[in-house]
Amino acid sequence: MATSLLKNTTLVLKRFNFCDQVLLLQNVRTAYTIRHRGLPPELAKSWKQIKQELSFCKEKEVLAVNIGFPLQDGTKMTRTEMRKRKQEKEEHSKRNEAELERKARLQELVVPISVAQAEGFQGVGQRRIHRLADHYGLFRDLFGEAYFYPSLDLRVGYVDGADPEFIQPVYHGNQLPPAETQSAPEVVYKGDADKFYTLCMVAPDSHLEQNNKEYLHWMVANIPGTSVSEGQVLCDYMPVFPVHGTGNHRYAFVLYQHDNVIDLSAEKRHQERPNLSERTFETLEFYRRHQDAITPVGLCFFQAEWDPSVRKTFHSVL
């Protein structure tokens, strides 16, 4: 009895699936019939032709390209190595658990954040920055179908005018008020002394006339090693100015590495007073013009929304 019931249930499910397939086929057929109805003979297609195209013509796949250096984080290990490392971590945590608990209870536990950040950048940190940049659509809006994993830990921070000892850091998507970004920020990274670097600050959301364009807020080219102050300032720093009622705007710092000094004189902007038409910029086109020489190696970005200081920027700066 149970076997017979099971067979009947299976038969019913098959009939339901068959009916669903027939209904779907009829809906697609009807949609294409309506779409091609009334077309001239040279454009109209039979259902057989359309079905054949759907069966054999695959949608063009867009493959993203890594334009940065290969990611070498040392995460590829055999299962034995992974098991051994996990066991070592567990044993280490057991040995230190009591001591760490005592220090935390007595408020004597000190965590060196600089060491933790330095150790956490390679591999895990690189993937995290890449994931955040992709989440915020920066690769899409700046480099099209390209992306990169940052190979240098780019640190950018705005000095507080009221308290020079305090710095507002730029992470990867944090919010900063425009009032605190009026002057050029401090830039720190651990680069190669034998290499040269070019730093660009761009705004992909702030263009007032063309949605697919950016504004160039800052460009320092041919930086020898890590001496940002010795680079060529091709574009003076321009404060951010997100328009009222348009929500958060993204502002990205991209650091490029190159082996030798390159000619970027064509990117030079007038320094006396910012000209928005002249500041129109396209990161993708800039990269294409110099892709044989430069490689993106650093990235950080923040978001900003209108505040009263933007009014001052429009009247006094622009």
* Share of residues in the chain with pLDDT > 70 (%): 73
CB contact at 8 A, 224 and 231 = yes
Q: Tell me how far apart the alpha carbons of residues 307 and 318 are, in angstroms, rounded to a whole number.
A: 16
Q: Tell me how far apart the alpha carbons of residues 180 and 170 are, in angstroms, rounded to a whole number.
A: 11
pTM of the model: 0.70
pLDDT of residue 157: 97
CB contact at 8 A, 202 and 271 = no
With a cut of 50, say whether residue 165 has pLDDT above it. Answer: yes
Q: What is the overall mean pLDDT for the chain?
A: 82
With a cut of 80, say whether residue 83 has pLDDT above it. Answer: no
Q: Which amino acid is at 196?
A: F
Instruction: With cut-offs at 50, 70 and 90, classify the pLDDT of residue 35.
Output: low
pLDDT of residue 160: 82
CB contact at 8 A, 296 and 247 = no
pLDDT tens for residues 172-189? Answer: 999 999 999 999 999 999
DSSP state of 162: S
Instruction: With cut-offs at 50, 70 and 90, classify the pLDDT of residue 114.
Output: low
Q: Which amino acid is at 142?
A: L
DSSP state of 205: T
Give me the mean pLDDT over the 230-251 stretch: 95
Give me the mean pLDDT over the 20-29 stretch: 54
Exposed e or buried b per residue across 20-35, where buried means at least 16 C-beta atoms within 10 angstroms of its C-beta: eeeeeeeeeeeebeee
User: How many residues are listed for the chain in this entry?
Assistant: 318
pLDDT of residue 118: 56
Based on the number of CB atoms within 10 Å of its own CB, is 266 exposed (0-12), middle (13-18) or buried (19 or more)? exposed
Q: Tell me how far apart the alpha carbons of residues 255 and 221 are, in angstroms, rounded to a whole number.
A: 10
With a cut of 80, say whether residue 136 has pLDDT above it. Answer: yes
